Amino acid sequence: MNTCLFWNQNAGEGLTLDEVTTWIRQAGHVVDRVIRDPAELPHTSHAGVDAVVAAGGDRTVAIAAKALAGGEVPLAVLALG
């Protein structure tokens, strides 16, 4: 599965981007792109990704859910708090 990672670098008590992308890859998925700007989220439906992974806390997940609502790209949550 090709994923787009919506990454909040301030969540996860110091976890690095490499650690998070490694977890996703170990689960058998591809991290096609990483975005940090919520304005880019609605464009993922045209980017050829199968899902968006929101990695962060409640605010990160809420931003991603709001941006993707009504679209065709599903949202997966990697709760990092």
Confidence band, pLDDT 50/70/90 cuts, at residue 41? confident
**31 Cβ neighbours under 8 A, 6+ residues apart:** 3, 4, 5, 21, 24, 25, 53
Three-state DSSP class for residue 2: strand
Compute the average pLDDT of residues 18-47.
Answer: 90
The sign one gets for the Cα dihedral 32, 45, 40, 74 is negative
Q: How confident is the model at residue 80 (pLDDT cuts 50, 70, 90)?
A: confident
Higher pLDDT, 63 or 46: 63
On average, the pLDDT of the chain sits at 90
Task: Give phi and psi for 42, each to the nearest 5.
Answer: -65, -20
